[in-house]
Structure 1
Amino acid sequence: MSVLMWIAGAAALGAGAIGWMRAEARGYRVREEEVVSERIPHSFDGFRILFITDIHRRQLSEVKLLSNLSSVDCVLLGGDITERGVPLQRMRHNMSVLVRIAPVYAVLGNHDLNAGKDAVRKVLRESGVTLLNDKTVTLKRSNELMVLSGVRQPASRKHPYTRFRGNAAEDQYHIILVHDPIWVKDKDAVHGDLVLAGHTHGGQIVLPVAGAVRLTRFYKKFKSGWYTLPRKAGETKHSSRMLISRGFGTSHIPLRLQCPAEYHVITLRKKP
């Protein structure tokens, strides 16, 4: 094989790999999840949540999103809704798509703060999105209640999280929305039944042998997927569940490898 043929082959292989990574980054992969608990109120049996996080620079296509989506009861946004340099009009468009689907509740992520938290909050408010900054709201169905709390993102890694853990009674099913799963680090209890987080991108670029090389030790353990956590201090069998999403967008480079973009539809099921 001549040098030119080898170069041409390598270039074709590289172009194919880049195309694959772009496709993973631009996809609309919806993951259907189910959470079963005896603590879920009867009237919320079958309640469906669209959970999407880390949109970053992407612009939502309403056609593509709805083509993979049956009806949902609420939308939860897990932060990094935008980032620095993204036109606010793109964020307005994305929020307009989501609020037409169902009521939207959100927390901010570190990139939202860097983009200008006041401007981001203004767009959310004007779009009809409820921002949960260390705030709890109640969702009501047939005179039964479920509690949703959102955790405020610290201004930087140097600032700790506040002591907010949501305002839910012991007998209320409690969902906690937080951008960064490091919030659970060193906690003896999370005081919630379901924790939804993002931030990690699942590593975004996951190599066949080395894995997600850009993740630090904590995030290698809490990378993506489902985890069990103590809902109350001293539990011998953990009763809280946490989902860490790989996220919908990308950071730094618009590519993914072995870690496709995703969003989730979570159905709550009352355990008999």
Structure 2
Amino acid sequence: MITINKLLGTFFSLSVGFISFMFVSAKKRNVIHHEMNACPHDAATDKLSVFFISDIHRRKIDAKLIKKVQNEREIDIVIIGGDLAEKGVPLKRIEKNIRYLATLGPIFFVWGNNDREVEEDEIRKIITHNGGKILDNESATIPGHPRFCICGSDDPSSRKVDFGSTLQYIEDYEFVIVVTHTPSLFRIVEQYCKPLLMLAGHTHGGQIRIGKYGLQDKGEFRLEEGRAKLISNGYGTSTLPLRLGAAPESHVIQINYGESVVEVS
């Protein structure tokens, strides 16, 4: 006859096992590969390889992740989509994470809703010291790819979002990449322009999902009419270091594009 103690023991063991499974799942170094063609009617003579990572929070970037990314392909730029850190994350960990990411390529960073819980000036120093660029409602030319512009907005939590400034120079470029931490800003971006690629994180894909149900939609890469939107599940976790049904992820996006067409008058 099964006793109450045995039932409780079995329940406890299953609970510990389930929590351990979610903890291990949250530590996986998943690198998802995406590919798109910027010029569908032209032969792809060039390519831009982007590494996108968001919502690192308390997690450590290590050599194993860097090696995994490098095995995918050579990276042209690294984009950090906000929440590099949160309250309580040591500056030494942030600096080490940035140093690792900088080995892949030049860094572009946008603020998330948690980053300023750490000392903002120190984060700025760490990123710029490692050759990175903070996109404070501004744009920049992508090194080695002068036809590409990357635009980054501040996070709504700062009350400093300004897409007029963020997108003011996009007409000087053929291809535009827009990065925001919060994907709800995509709708505002599309009132100004139709970027080739939009990137965001923030939602963690719900982080813990029961089947198809979660507090947030699961992340996805959506390609429509030659344009793409990527909302990442993020790499780290918030509140609980656990994941279920929304695996941690980082991304390599390869953009193939053809020769520039020069109009002759």
- TM range, smaller chain: 0.7 to 0.9
Aligned to 2:162: 162
Could you tell me which runs of 5 or more consecutive residues in structure 2 were left unpaired when the two chains were aligned.
Answer: 260-265
- What SS does the aligned partner of 2:25 have? helix
The CA distance in 1 between the partners of 2:82 and 2:69, in whole Å, is: 22
TM-score (norm. length: structure 2): 0.86
The C-alpha deviation readout for 1:146-169, integer Å capped at 9, x for no partner, is 11111122344xx37323342212
* CA positional deviation for 1:116: 3.0
1:136 and 1:150 in contact (8 A); partners too? yes
* Paired-residue identity, %: 28
2:98 and 2:127 in contact (8 A); partners too? yes
* CA positional deviation for 1:228: 5.8
Aligned to 1:240: 227
Aligned to 1:270: 257
2:207 and 2:244 in contact (8 A); partners too? yes
Aligned to 1:196: 199
| Match for residue 87 of structure 2 among 77, 84, 89 | 84
The CA distance in 2 between the partners of 1:56 and 1:25, in whole Å, is: 12
- What SS does the aligned partner of 1:149 have? strand
Map 1:73-152; keep pairs closer than 5 Å. 73-141=76-144, 144-152=146-154
1:184 and 1:190 in contact (8 A); partners too? no
* CA positional deviation for 1:36: 1.6
More deviation, 45-54/82-91: 45-54
State yes or no: 1:224 paired with 2:219: yes
State yes or no: 1:48 paired with 2:42: no
Distance verdict in 2 for CA 1:138–1:122, change over 3 Å = same
2:38 and 2:257 in contact (8 A); partners too? yes
Distance verdict in 2 for CA 1:170–1:96, change over 3 Å = closer
Aligned to 1:208: 211
Distance verdict in 2 for CA 1:54–1:44, change over 3 Å = farther
* Letter in structure 1 aligned against 2:254: T
The C-alpha deviation readout for 1:205-254, integer Å capped at 9, x for no partner, is 11125x11x33xxxx4xx4102468xxxxxxxx65321000000001111
Aligned to 2:263: none
* Letter in structure 1 aligned against 2:15: G
Distance verdict in 2 for CA 1:199–1:73, change over 3 Å = same
The C-alpha deviation readout for 1:26-61, integer Å capped at 9, x for no partner, is 110110111222179978733211111110001111
The CA distance in 2 between the partners of 1:68 and 1:155, in whole Å, is: 31
* CA positional deviation for 1:62: 1.3
TM superposition outliers: structure 1 runs of 4+ over 3 Å: 39-44, 185-191
Could you tell me which runs of 5 or more consecutive residues in structure 1 were left unpaired when the two chains were aligned.
Answer: 230-237
The C-alpha deviation readout for 1:154-185, integer Å capped at 9, x for no partner, is 344xx373233422127611111111111123
* CA positional deviation for 1:67: 3.1
**Cα RMSD for the two superposed structures:** 2.5
More deviation, 113-122/69-78: 113-122
1:41 and 1:173 in contact (8 A); partners too? no
* Letter in structure 2 aligned against 1:29: N
- What SS does the aligned partner of 2:83 have? coil
1:77 and 1:106 in contact (8 A); partners too? yes
* CA positional deviation for 1:193: 1.1
- What SS does the aligned partner of 1:205 have? coil
The CA distance in 2 between the partners of 1:72 and 1:129, in whole Å, is: 15
- What SS does the aligned partner of 2:119 have? helix
State yes or no: 1:249 paired with 2:250: no
* Letter in structure 2 aligned against 1:14: S
* CA positional deviation for 1:65: 3.0
The CA distance in 2 between the partners of 1:173 and 1:152, in whole Å, is: 21
The CA distance in 1 between the partners of 2:187 and 2:258, in whole Å, is: 29
1:34 and 1:267 in contact (8 A); partners too? yes
The CA distance in 2 between the partners of 1:40 and 1:254, in whole Å, is: 45
The CA distance in 2 between the partners of 1:180 and 1:162, in whole Å, is: 14
